[in-house]
Amino acid sequence: MICRLLRVIMTRRSIWFVREISSGKRFLIRTGKMHRFAFCVKLLIFFIVFFLGVIIFHYLDILGVIYTINYLVHRQQDDTKVLCPKFVGGLGNQMFQYASLYGIAKSKNMTLLIDAECELNQLFSISAVTLPHVACWFLKTRTDYRPCAFNKDTMNFSADQNYQMQGYLQSWQYFHRAEPALRQIFKFKAAIREKAESILKQAIEVHQKQVRNQALTFIAIHIRRGDITKDNFKTYGYNTASLDYIRRAMQYFSERYHRILFLVCTNDMEWAKRYLHKKNVYFVENQPREVDMALMASCNHTIMTVGSFGWWSAWLANGEVVYYRYPASRGSKLRKAFSKEMTDYYYPKWKPML
């Protein structure tokens, strides 16, 4: 059949040449026929392999769909519905989405459903039902339109059907009642913790020579620069925390605690080393972001600049937190994403500083 469809094309593409015969007559010989059969066989093999691949791919997806439908039917029978996040953004963004939906699901007696292959499931021992990535495709969608503020309308729905939730949901008010459970859930897996502990041990060994084996207080400093220094981020409203702010925050902790060791995690290490190089500062370099967060989570206190990654590092450390007072420029799209005093985003007990 394939050969028939290609016959016209093959005929037009046939190669002609002239051969001399002993009688002196000239004959035109068409050589296209000699290769047409071999070409058709190769083409047929290609299509067979291609369609087998498509069938296998769809078969796996169909299994996921069947598994999902069976699960949802079971939930339908016991009247417990599911919430499913549509994860977007980086690690800190996804942690907000999970935590907020965990809190909402608990408040409505629903079950949180996540993709078995999502990043959070690779880093933490997530407490949620995991299903194939197609699971949420069939659920009714609800969307939160204010990324950095608590929105009562987001929770204003009846728990009588299954939902997929879209949006950043970046407010502690969605999950503050579930905080003890989330602190257990957001414990990094053993390999990540061990790597963070080895870095902390190395930092201690370097610094102990200066303090003669006395106890240390660890202050994590997360500095986000890099991407937010670009024009498109500035236009959206991102402010970069100033060097003066970071130095004031360091001075604040230096006056409150003795024998301090600052551990710096940043996406602009060159800048940090240029301006923050001191005897009691240790720079954490060339580590995956989850190791950076695990390390900062093991510190006593935190200095934040801008972004959800630093937010969650501070939350996990659960100590004293200083944050940059103006992460968004006045009147910008980013500023409008926050509540008036930004108290929906930042914990009330955290300390703002300029």
Per-residue confidence (pLDDT) for residue 132, from 0 to 100: 72
Number of domains in the chain: 2
For residues 98 and 220, state if they share a domain.
Answer: no
Domain boundary among 162, 184, 206: 184
Q: d(Cα 208, Cα 218) in Å, to the nearest integer?
A: 13
Q: Of 135 and 186, which is predicted with more confidence?
A: 186
Is the pLDDT at 78 greater than 80? The verdict is no
Asked whether residue 221 is assigned to any structural domain, the reply reads yes
Tokens describing residue 93: 């963004």
206 and 276, same domain (yes or no): yes
Residues 203 and 179 in one domain: no
CB neighbour class for 74 (10 Å; exposed up to 12, middle 13-18, buried from 19) = exposed
Torsion, Cα 307 117 104 318, to 10 degrees, reads -40
Taking residues 16-42, report their average pLDDT.
51
- The Cα–Cα gap between 154 and 344 comes to 14
Q: Which of 13-27, 136-150, 168-182, 277-291 has the lowest mean pLDDT?
A: 13-27
CA distance 311 to 90: 13
261 and 113 belong to one structural domain: no
Q: What per-residue confidence (pLDDT) applies to 227?
A: 94
CATH number of residue 278's parent domain? 3.40.50.11350
Q: What is the mean pLDDT of the segment spanning 98-125?
A: 93
Both 269 and 196 in one domain: the answer is yes
Q: Average of pLDDT values for 227-237?
A: 96
pLDDT, tens digit, 9 for 90 and up, residues 158-213: 999 999 999 999 999 999 999 999 999 999 999 999 999 999 999 999 887 666 65
User: Is the same domain home to 116 and 250?
Assistant: no
Answer whether residue 7 shows pLDDT above 80.
no
Host domain of residue 279:
190-352
Q: Evaluate whether 101 touches 128 at the Cβ level (below 8 Å).
A: no
What one-character DSSP code corresponds to residue 216? -
Report the DSSP pairing between strands 321-324 and 351-353: parallel
DSSP state of 154: G
In the predicted structure, residue 30 carries a pLDDT above the cut 70: no
- Per the domain annotation, does 275 fall within a domain? yes
Domain boundary among 143, 165, 184: 184
Average pLDDT estimate for 10-14: 44
Which pair of structure tokens corresponds to residue 168? 């950043």
**Which strand (E) or helix (H) includes residue 114?**
strand 111-115
Pairing state between β 163-166 and 82-85? parallel
Q: What is the DSSP letter of 56?
A: H
Question: What is the mean pLDDT of the segment spanning 302-329?
Answer: 98
Spatial distance between the Cα atoms of 97 and 57, rounded to a whole number of angstroms:
29
In this predicted structure, what is the pLDDT of residue 129?
A: 75
> What is the Cα–Cα distance from 340 to 343, expressed in whole angstroms?
8
Tell me the mean pLDDT in the region 278-305: 98
3 lies in some domain? no
Residues 207, 252 share a domain: yes
Tell me if 273 is assigned to some domain: yes
For residues 5 and 189, what is the distance between their CA atoms, to the nearest angstrom?
57
Residue 211 and residue 338 in one domain: yes
Residue 41 placed within a domain: no
Same domain as 217, residue 169: no
| Structural domain contains residue 27 | no
pLDDT interval class at 257 (50, 70, 90): very high
Residues 6+ apart with CB under 8 A from 148: 168, 170, 171, 334, 337, 338, 339, 342, 344, 345
Nearby residues of 123 by Cβ (< 8 Å), 6 or more positions away: 91, 188, 189, 192, 290
- Going by C-alpha positions, the residue among 311, 320, 300 that lies closest to residue 338 is 311
pLDDT band for position 4 (50/70/90)? low
Q: Could you tell me if residue 233 is inside a domain?
A: yes
Are residues 179 and 274 located together in one domain of the fold?
no
**Last residue within a domain, chosen from 142, 161, 184:** 184
Q: With respect to residue 347, please indicate whether it lies within any of the assigned structural domains.
A: yes
C-alpha count within 13 angstroms, C-beta hemisphere, residue 133: 7
Place of tokens 């602009």: 268
Same domain? 199 vs 246: yes
pLDDT number for residue 73: 43
Q: Cα-flanking dihedrals φ and ψ of residue 88, to 5°?
A: -140, 155
Q: Is the pLDDT of residue 44 over 90?
A: no
Shared-domain flag, residues 126 and 263: no
**pLDDT for 41:** 66
